[in-house]
Chains A and B, each alone.
Chain A
């Protein structure tokens, strides 16, 4: 339900195993083999980075809050787990997801404004006809079975900040890791509190002042092993006396102890950590121009912008 993740439609209908997600996507591709062969596309994570950039551009023009943009990204991810992307105009889907997410997150924008901003951003791929966006909204809601209430990790992060005495920088880093995870499949694979804990762990391991996210890709292996060491200690260490320091090292220790005493699935956090780190590696190879061209090609060739 709305307040309860465990009863939510998110957990019941939109949380998959990797295999299930793979099967869903395979099925879509199999149904449209010709299309898939005719219009090759970059890997899903690169598409997601592109979508993320476009959402950010639109969000900036509309003055949309981060949480609504996160909701929009999740809507898009859900939608494309059910609909072959080459059958849609991704720019229209992006704008529609933002339009709908803003209504759900209580910061609505008029359809005409969203359409006119979309038209400004993507003049060659976006119709000025508002009914196109209205129609796409039906499509989006229908594919999501009207399940539009979304649980984000931000709330868990906020409530755990104090527990782990995160500094402002550490919180900000964890926050931006959560922002980044919407470019991966993680929100379709794990519960929001698992994501939040992964972000906190990584933020502590990455040490915001010395290492930035951008450099993460370079030494991803190191980070992964540091994170894993921290986590593997969770099962073994018992609280060792009361050494209450504020260094990240002891904070990681505290997190490990806290996890050991909780019922939280540590495996899942390890899994999550690896996924986001491998995403940061993949991000290094992202080619915006190529991604844009490949998307634009099928949109134009198939007349999806009309």
Chain B
């Protein structure tokens, strides 16, 4: 649409534009001009036009990642905006030659509305949303790292623990963000290391609210909307057992899993997801539940009174238990063997210093009964944070080494056009295009 102010004659200026490309540019521009209601002579009935254009405001540095939602690009401002940005471009519904307006998905609407409303140092900050050319661009502050990356770095070349002060600071900031979300009736529903951002100054920021939603006024049961929520390794036992009542406790279980992963550098409950069958019924996630039971023991109705009301309660008896059934949890054993595993090498940054309070916090978060599980507020007040070294607001404080920067690929940084794998590049003039294309 906005191509009307960018006539084809000015196209193809880039050094890399071959003839074929130029032809295509022209073809597309002509096509778009034709499709532009402003040019159709309908007088006042102009189509929607964005007041700002994403490429006028931002210079794309490169491509960061893609997912089911669309793609994320790294960018910097063209008008002296401070800092760097991550621009999330939502995938239009229909892939192909002609993108159509098909109505914005409910999850995108939720994310746009929630991110516009939220404001907290531990939640990734939305800068602006640009609706342009049938696409949605959400511009966020940029974070150099995420927990997945940081955890991975500590497995290379050999496993070495994340310093205890870093773990503590990350947990505190993460809980702080959760507390803010929950106090504002927002469930994140997809907390996992990849969604927890960390800036280069060590600030932790909860990101990707693509699955988040308000839980204060569910007109329909929260269950009815999206049947499956939260990456399976971080999924709370009540969800695995078929609960329809979502509470902030599901986020807290995920936080417990993340805590464990910061300590052991691998997912604590790494189950295999049972796929949905052809009738779209949600299967019981036996393998995932099994992984939990192996460490946590079987849940009991004494410790979790509502357990017997869970839709999949009967499935529990079919799980195989270790040699000593009903003997309870192995979590304590798991915890101490994890935090002490590196101390043999007399590593000064051993996690052994996290001590007994670390175990208590972990077990409070990985509590089977969602009603007894720690809330974010309770967890923030846990002695874990008040004993030992003071919690720093910079999780990298005192850390000597530097974490690798986020990988930014130059493969596709043409944000306005060919942002989808498999769609054709249109060769629009774009000065942010690198001289050397990796793929064309």
Residues of A within 8 A of B (CB): 1-4, 7-9, 35, 65, 67-68, 87, 99-100, 103-108, 110-111, 130-139, 141-142, 145-149, 155, 302-304, 306
Given contacts A137-B101, A137-B103, A146-B129, contact A4 B184 (CB under 8 A): yes
Q: In B99-128, which residues have CB < 8 Å from any A CB?
A: 100-104, 106, 109-110, 112-119
Is A8 touching B103 in the complex (CB atoms < 8 A)? no
Is B131 touching A141 in the complex (CB atoms < 8 A)? yes
Instruction: Give the distance in Å from the alpha carbon of A35 to the alpha carbon of B117 in the complex.
Output: 36
- Please name 7 further chain A to chain B contacts, defined as beta carbons within 8 Å, in addition to the given A103-B109, A136-B48, A139-B48, sorted by A numbering: A1-B118, A103-B110, A106-B213, A134-B100, A135-B101, A137-B101, A147-B116
Given contacts A138-B101, A148-B116, A302-B45, contact A3 B106 (CB under 8 A): no
Which A residues lie within 8 Å of B183 (CB)? Answer: 3
Q: In B34-82, which residues have CB < 8 Å from any A CB?
A: 42-45, 47-48, 50-51
Is A306 touching B42 in the complex (CB atoms < 8 A)? yes
Instruction: Give the distance in Å from the alpha carbon of A134 to the alpha carbon of B48 in the complex.
Output: 10
Which B residues lie within 8 Å of A147 (CB)? Answer: 113, 116-117
Residues of B within 8 A of A (CB): 42-45, 47-48, 50-51, 100-104, 106, 109-110, 112-119, 129, 131, 134, 183-186, 213-214, 216-220, 225
Is A99 touching B119 in the complex (CB atoms < 8 A)? no
Is B106 touching A103 in the complex (CB atoms < 8 A)? yes
Instruction: Give the distance in Å from the alpha carbon of A145 to the alpha carbon of B104 in the complex.
Output: 15
Is B185 touching A141 in the complex (CB atoms < 8 A)? no
Instruction: Give the distance in Å from the alpha carbon of A149 to the alpha carbon of B184 in the complex.
Output: 12
Query: How far apart are A45's CB and chain B's nearest CB, in angstroms?
Result: 25
Given contacts A106-B219, A107-B220, contact A302 B43 (CB under 8 A): yes
Interface residues of chain B: helix, strand, loop or mixed (majority): loop
Which A residues lie within 8 Å of B43 (CB)? Answer: 302-303
Is A2 touching B117 in the complex (CB atoms < 8 A)? yes
Instruction: Give the distance in Å from the alpha carbon of A139 to the alpha carbon of B102 in the complex.
Output: 14
Is A2 touching B214 in the complex (CB atoms < 8 A)? yes
Query: How far apart are B365's CB and chain A's nearest CB, in angstroms?
Result: 23
Is A3 touching B103 in the complex (CB atoms < 8 A)? no
Q: Identify which of B45, B100, B112, B113 contacts A306 (C-beta below 8 A).
A: B45
Which A residues lie within 8 Å of B48 (CB)? Answer: 135-136, 138-139, 142
28 contacts between A and B (CB under 8 A): A1-B117, A2-B186, A2-B216, A3-B185, A9-B116, A67-B217, A87-B44, A99-B103, A104-B109, A105-B219, A106-B214, A106-B218, A134-B102, A135-B48, A135-B101, A135-B134, A137-B101, A137-B103, A137-B104, A138-B48, A138-B131, A141-B104, A141-B112, A141-B131, A142-B51, A146-B115, A146-B116, A149-B214
Instruction: Give the distance in Å from the alpha carbon of A187 to the alpha carbon of B206 in the complex.
Output: 33
Q: Of all chain B residues, which has the CB nearest A107?
A: B219
Q: How many A-B residue pairs have CB under 8 A?
A: 118
Q: Which 7 A-B pairs have the closest CB atoms?
A: A134-B101, A111-B103, A148-B113, A131-B101, A139-B48, A3-B184, A2-B184
Which B residues lie within 8 Å of A35 (CB)? Answer: 44
Is A149 touching B102 in the complex (CB atoms < 8 A)? no
Query: How far apart are B243's CB and chain A's nearest CB, in angstroms?
Result: 18
Instruction: Give the distance in Å from the alpha carbon of A68 to the alpha carbon of B217 in the complex.
Output: 12
Given contacts A99-B103, A111-B103, contact A302 B109 (CB under 8 A): no
Q: Identify which of A65, A67, A130, A303 contacts B42 (C-beta below 8 A).
A: A303
Given contacts A107-B219, A141-B112, contact A131 B100 (CB under 8 A): yes
Given contacts A100-B109, A136-B48, A306-B42, contact A130 B102 (CB under 8 A): yes
Is B50 touching A2 in the complex (CB atoms < 8 A)? no
Instruction: Give the distance in Å from the alpha carbon of A99 to the alpha carbon of B213 in the complex.
Output: 18
Is B216 touching A3 in the complex (CB atoms < 8 A)? yes
